[in-house]
Amino acid sequence: MIPIYLDNAATTKMNKNAIDAMLPYLDTVYGNPSSLHSAGQIANEALTNARERMAVLLGCEAREIIFTSGGSEADNQAIISAARLGAKKGKKHIVSTAIEHHAVLHTLKKLEKEGFEVTLLDVHENGLITPEQVADAIRTDTCLVTVMYANNEIGTIQPISKIGAICRERGVLFHTDAVQAVGHIKINVNEQNIDMLSLSAHKFHGPKGIGVLYAKKGILLSTLIEGGAQERGKRAGTENIPAIMGMAAALESACADMDQNTAKLTALRDRLIAGLSEIPHAILNGDASQRLPGNVNFCFEGIEGESLLLLLDDKGICASSGSACTSGSLDPSHVLLAIGRVHDIAHGSLRLSLSEENTVEEIDYTIDAVKEVVEYLRGISPIWRDLVNGKKEFIIK
Ligand SMILES: *Cc1c(COP(=O)(O)O)cnc(C)c1O
């Protein structure tokens, strides 16, 4: 059985154009861009070219593109840099949200131990924050606002342009973790008043282990890795040219096909949501409209998410209970808790994240499979028996 891959928020299959763009740099074009000889200069031209193409796609200048090892590094670098800059001016307050990726939340925790104060904004039940919440949270000592563009678990898309405008007006640096958004939603960092942005190639059909931190010119970054002069001298190490070339090609493809992909994905997503909504005592997590085109996330009452995943895997469906980082641990997702799901309900979650390669047949098969597995698991669950017998009250009506 060919697996039905519905875990594109965890990672994606590489695009053919991206693979083709990488091949020469894994084979014949292997020079080090820092070398002065011709082999090095050919590699350096490729690097410059990829940087310029990434800049065009994001709406910034080539010198504002910093290559990183992925989204986590870009998040760390952005937040640490803004914190160090702020501390120099006596500003040690940071505003963020309760539903950020752990690459952001754990970096903020580290800064708290160093004496920074962090305000994590509560999201509404639909997973959104309002620009007013950000405006109210900014203080005279705020050095950074960091709000994710789109959530990796529940797919909610935050009002980034409005938040950017508020930060610009108040003179506070604004960073967004756009790892789930880049390649899936139209973004222009200048028009949206974004000072720093993180992206990761493997979330838009590019290679793993490569990403970008966009940092507006004039923002002094902290030195992440000591050594050579690569990446503004802040991140030493010979550049990963094959991955960088693959990333640029993947983002070009994603942006060129975006309208078409969005239309296809939205139709598949809504078909899947409609099908799963027929399951009794189930609830869609995240906002119905301000939502990534490929994201579906449900909680089913009386179900244990891990069992659901394993049984779906037996049926050839690759799904997730939340983020790849939290699955495997017994703690329920911090995102689901933040939108008000109680522990028992949050444990019964299922995330299905689609790609444009999925088909209507796969979606219909998945709807049937989830219905069947949920019914089976409820049938053997003592908690479900109590709910049905009225000994316990349903939380999801
Ligand atoms: C995947 C992801 C990251 C981490 O990116 P890596 O390239 O895997 O380090 C960060 N933030 C969000 C929202 C993500 O989805």
In tens, the pLDDT along 110-145 reads 999 999 999 999 999 999 999 999 999 999 999 999
How many A from CA of 202 to the centre of ligand 1? 9
- 325 catalytic residue (yes or no): yes
Question: How much is the pLDDT for 251?
Answer: 98
Q: Look up residue 212 and give its DSSP letter.
A: E
Q: Tokens 């803004």: give the residue.
A: 82
The pTM of the full predicted model, rounded to 2 decimals, is 0.96
- Work out the average pLDDT over 323-327: 49
Question: How much is the pLDDT for 224?
Answer: 87
What average pLDDT is seen over the chain?
96
Q: Tokens 């840099």: give the residue.
A: 81
Q: Please state, in angstroms and rounded to a whole number, the distance separating the CA atoms of residues 74 and 247.
A: 15
Question: How much is the pLDDT for 330?
Answer: 67
pLDDT reading at 273 higher than 60: yes
Task: pLDDT band for 182, please (50, 70, 90 cuts).
Answer: very high
Which residue is closest in CA terms to ligand 1's atom 3?
Answer: 71
- Domain 16-256: CATH architecture, name and number where available: 3-Layer(aba) Sandwich (3.40)
pLDDT reading at 208 higher than 70: yes
How many A from CA of 90 to the centre of ligand 1? 30
Instruction: Write the secondary structure of 99-122 as one string of H (helix), E (strand) and C (coil).
Output: CCCHHHHHHHHHHHHCCCEEEEEC
In CATH terms, the superfamily for domain 258-388 is Aspartate Aminotransferase, domain 1 (3.90.1150.10)
Question: How much is the pLDDT for 1?
Answer: 60
258-388 has the same fold as 16-256: no
Edge-first strand order for the sheet with 295-300 is 282-284, 295-300, 349-353
Identify the weakest region by mean pLDDT among 55-59, 271-275, 342-346. 342-346
- What's the one-letter identity of residue 140? T
C-alpha to C-alpha distances, 215 to 19, 60, 145, nearest whole angstrom: 27, 9, 14
Question: How much is the pLDDT for 319?
Answer: 97
Look at residues 193, 213, 210, 188 and name the one whose alpha carbon lies nearest to residue 201: 210
In tens, the pLDDT along 154-181 reads 999 999 999 999 999 999 999 999 999 9
Paired tokens of 47:
């690097």
Compute the Cα dihedral for 356, 360, 361, 367 and give only its sign.
positive
Which residue is closest in CA terms to ligand 1's atom 12?
Answer: 179
The closest-lying atom of ligand 1 relative to the alpha carbon of residue 178 is 13
How many A from CA of 205 to the centre of ligand 1? 13
Question: How much is the pLDDT for 35?
Answer: 96
Look at residues 69, 62, 64, 66 and name the one whose alpha carbon lies nearest to residue 48: 62
Q: Which residues line ligand 1 (CB under 6 A)?
A: 70-72, 75, 101, 103, 148, 152, 177, 179-180, 200, 203, 211
Task: pLDDT band for 328, please (50, 70, 90 cuts).
Answer: low
Query: Which residues are paired to 225 by β-bridges?
Result: 235
Domain boundary assignment for the chain: 16-256, 258-388
- What share of the chain in percent tops pLDDT 90? 94
In tens, the pLDDT along 217-238 reads 999 999 989 999 899 889 999 9
Q: Look up residue 44 and give its DSSP letter.
A: H
Paired tokens of 346:
């949050």
